[in-house]
Structure 1
Amino acid sequence: MNQNSSSTVQFYNGEQLPLELHKVRVVQKLHLVPVERRLEAIGEAGYNTFQLSTYDVFLDMLTDSGVNAMSDNQIAAMFRADDAYAGSQSFGRLAEAVKEVFGKEYLLPVHQGRAAENIISRAFVKPGDVVPMNYHFTTTHAHIDLNGGTIEELVADEALELTSINPFKGNMDIAKLRDCIKRNGVDKIPFIRMEASTNLIGGQPFSIANLREVRSVCDEYGIMLVLDASLIGENAYFIKKREEEFQNSTCGEILLAMCDLADLVYFSARKVSSSRGGGICSNNKEIINKMQHLVPLFEGFLTYGGISVREIEAMAVGLRETTDETVISQSPSFIEYFIGEMVRLGIPCVTPAGGLGAHIDAGSFLPHIPQSEYPAGALAAAFFIASGVRGMERGTLSSVRDKDGNDILADVELLRLAFPRRVFTLSQVRYVADRMKWLYDNRDLIGGLEFVEEPPVLRFFMGRLRAKSDWPQKLAAKFRQDFGESL
């Protein structure tokens, strides 16, 4: 087929813009409530965007997890679901898709990615263990901690330079990996984890060249390599665009090349296949056997794993669609456009553009707010007041406390604006950029936050905070002055 698989096209005037390679057939009404209501809503939510109701949210850029637009083929597939408790034909079709897309023969279904992390951690992590990884994700960190292990983050130092041209900030530093193994001993390392499109440092990918180096170290020491494939489609897309060896490969071929290097692959279908559910897969039956008994205990029977069979059917179709560059490129191309606008407007952000979302550098945006007052959380709250757009804090608020009760300060302070696949239009993206520019011009009005209710685990989900001054009211008043009461 001679189809344009790129989501970015050049217009006659020379401008390059992302182009939606799909048509809208079902719509959902949105509401842009007045700034007065937005101010009230963020206060009622304890200045935590997770606690906002979508009645008050205009554009929901909190996450891409479970909110990607589903395709017509996915919806159609849901109608043929086989709802048998055991031995479902739907599971068989999912297993076939996993083998086709990931190249793995054995599949354990789970209800989402963090459920896979629970199973893997219970099966392999014991007290005193250390898990090296390129960078952690919050739920991964929590499950390893709960099972008595610790993590070591081994990205290269330059990965934390937010503004750069490094195409593969998600690469693992091999020298750091070897040092980690030498210091801790092979017997204390149950596996090495690589995360595709590293979530917490801006959706940054790793290269296959780097993954091969990690595989070589695993072979040398006899250590299992685990791949978090939740954002593997985006990682494959970036490899095609940025790694010379694979510029003529298809995304499907790149996916297989990545997964072939891993002993165990797990994923959240809420991200990778535009549906809900998840899975753990491997070609090693011995590895699968160490986890298999835990699935009925925590998830459900081995052929549904806590997932609706309708979602299982959608997962199977969605996994195959992940190999389609037309599908997978839509989100990265919109993110690249938005980041380009941020750079043009002088707004600090993570470059190069990554997957999952656009990441605003809250530390540079709000240098007057110390990390102990959660600048990324404050920026998320302020941006909601200014725009009705719900983003997500990825900084110290998403971190944890040490044994003495002190915040462990995050490496970076980011406001993440997620770009779910095929959800937003270009005019909506331009609205987000405009309101971000207004907020940046009025950034001195923004102040810090402090906790009033703090859960012991994953506090960013359910915690409640308060503003340390009346800065939210002053920000809303300035917005009314500039835009008028009607908005």
Structure 2
Amino acid sequence: MVAYRTKMVERITLPAREQRERTLAEAGYNVFNVPAAEVYVDLLTDSGTGAMSDEQWAALVRADEAYAGSECFDRLESAVADVMGFEHVIPAHQGRGAENVLYGTLLSAGDVVPNNTHFDTTRAHVANQDADPVDCPVDEAYDFESDAAFGGNLSLDRARTVVDEVGPEQVPVVVQTITNNSAAGQPVSVENTRRVRAFADEIDATFVIDACRFAENAYFVKQREDEFADASIAEIAREQLSYADAVVMSGKKDGLVNAGGFVATDDPDLFERCKQRAILYEGFPTYGGMAGRDVAAMAVGLREAVEEAYVADRVEQVREFGSLLGEAGVPVATGGHAVYLDAGAVLPHLSSDVFPGQALVCELYREGGVRGVELGSFAFPETDRPELVRLAVPRRTYHREHFDHVVETVETVLETRSEVDGLRLASEPSIPELRHFTADLEPVQT
């Protein structure tokens, strides 16, 4: 059952193929450099790209813009307490700002950080502290044929191996990302979260949950974890998050806003330390780099994110999109926010050193003006990850006709896939963990 109806529309157009060819070349074969106006269906990210509700727009208008002690912050603090269960909140301009505040507070040079799978900015923030981000996914994480209910879980065996190798004193933080974005958006069970909590206690580490998609994860838990079959999404979310010492949040995902994020904790000492760093990098602790109106909209969005009708509509739309691509013969994995294409299987003639995932991303834009993102050897150099292309679905934005166009585009690419050339780096930035945002590439005949 559809959970909402449209109140505002935006006109979009598909540029001519010749224009798309020129745009792709001018962008250095990096779709982050492609102007949004020249994209027809934009699935680059679900971060801050969705549509807000009428209640959120009303909150924007009512918001105050006080530098300190705003009423908007009071509403955010109340929403975080009610929805997520944490007393203390440090707002930030977006998720990576919150990561800077939290990981800059918790980590030092030489530390090692296990995570079920680090995403790009998380990996970069850990590395920026001269610490070592280590992925600890379960064996099923990258198995497209697996029917595992919780392929996003953190492997305790791998995490213990890390601790055995370096010693517990070098592992001050353990992170669990829900859902597991880098592992095809697969969910994490509450039972796994409980076990990670116990593991963190064993080694005296701070347990952090990256909660950007906590509500979508709760929906999967309700569907797949028997203990929670009769629980509400809100109840599941609070239960899962209750095991964390702190959460880091991009409000641009399950906060349902276009800007904003925060760190939340019940630890008063950690709160005070993070607050001081936030003042330095983000702003005063009651606005954190956001306009008051954005704070107000996020307070509303957090409450809407755990409404049963909203989250069911959200996850099921993505599932239907994945089914359409699967029926077209594409090897896919479907998470709560995105569909992941197995670029290695789609383009088997391309080796990882010529970036098959990025080549597929470029072909999707060339053929249909569809923008996705590569999450393989280009985005994650020197890591053992499969060649994935993520098609992230913005919340409350696209409809069945848009997804039909994407499927048709993919089918067209499949027809001529043997002719697709690989790519090589023409220039790249100094931070390898972030090179996919700004690097330029060029075609290489293979």
TM-score range, shorter chain: over 0.9
Aligned to 2:355: 374
Task: Name the amino acid aligned to 1:367.
Answer: P
2:331 to 318, 341, 348: 348
Secondary structure at the aligned position of 1:359 is classed as strand
1:424 to 391, 398, 422: 398
2:435 to 459, 473, 477: 459
The count of aligned residue pairs is 443
Q: How far apart are residue 21 of structure 1 and its match? A: 2.1
Aligned to 1:480: none
Alignment of 1:60-209 (within 5 A): 60-209=42-191
Task: Name the amino acid aligned to 2:111.
Answer: D
In 2, the alpha carbon distance for the partners of 1:267 and 1:393 equals: 23
Tell me whether 1:270 sits opposite 2:246 in the alignment. no
Aligned to 1:248: 230
Secondary structure at the aligned position of 1:79 is classed as helix
Check conservation: 1:130, 1:151, Cα contact below 8 A: yes
Deviates more, 1:216-225 or 1:277-286: 216-225
Alignment of 1:222-371 (within 5 A): 222-275=204-257, 276-350=259-333, 353-371=334-352
Deviations for 1:369-389, whole angstroms, at most 9, x for unmatched residues?
Answer: 110001000000001111111
Secondary structure at the aligned position of 2:38 is classed as coil
Check conservation: 2:172, 2:204, Cα contact below 8 A: no
Deviations for 1:364-410, whole angstroms, at most 9, x for unmatched residues?
Answer: 0001011000100000000111111111111111023xxxxxxx254
Secondary structure at the aligned position of 2:230 is classed as coil
Q: How far apart are residue 446 of structure 1 and its match? A: 0.8
Secondary structure at the aligned position of 1:114 is classed as helix
In 1, the alpha carbon distance for the partners of 2:158 and 2:14 equals: 48
Alignment of 1:209-228 (within 5 A): 209-228=191-210
Secondary structure at the aligned position of 1:396 is classed as coil
Q: TM-score by structure 2 length?
A: 0.97
2:375 to 388, 394, 397: 394
Check conservation: 1:377, 1:449, Cα contact below 8 A: yes
Q: Which runs of 5+ in 1 are unaligned?
A: 1-6, 8-19, 401-407, 472-487
Aligned to 1:12: none
In 2, the alpha carbon distance for the partners of 1:201 and 1:289 equals: 33
In 1, the alpha carbon distance for the partners of 2:314 and 2:82 equals: 23
Secondary structure at the aligned position of 2:321 is classed as helix
In 1, the alpha carbon distance for the partners of 2:31 and 2:138 equals: 31
Check conservation: 1:379, 1:415, Cα contact below 8 A: yes
Check conservation: 2:94, 2:250, Cα contact below 8 A: yes
Deviates more, 1:295-304 or 1:284-293: 284-293
Check conservation: 1:106, 1:282, Cα contact below 8 A: yes
Check conservation: 1:373, 1:448, Cα contact below 8 A: yes
Tell me whether 1:442 sits opposite 2:416 in the alignment. yes
Deviates more, 1:250-259 or 1:156-165: 156-165
Structure showing greater Rg: 1
Task: Name the amino acid aligned to 1:369.
Answer: L
Alignment of 1:32-47 (within 5 A): 32-47=14-29
In 2, the alpha carbon distance for the partners of 1:410 and 1:467 equals: 24
In 2, the alpha carbon distance for the partners of 1:375 and 1:162 equals: 17
Task: Name the amino acid aligned to 2:441.
Answer: L
Q: TM-score by structure 1 length?
A: 0.89
Deviations for 1:178-223, whole angstroms, at most 9, x for unmatched residues?
Answer: 2222222221111100000111121111100111111111222322
In 1, the alpha carbon distance for the partners of 2:158 and 2:372 equals: 33
Q: Aligned-pair RMSD on alpha carbons?
A: 1.2
Secondary structure at the aligned position of 1:78 is classed as helix
Q: Which runs of 5+ in 2 are unaligned?
A: none
Check conservation: 1:227, 1:264, Cα contact below 8 A: yes
In 1, the alpha carbon distance for the partners of 2:343 and 2:383 equals: 14
Secondary structure at the aligned position of 1:329 is classed as helix
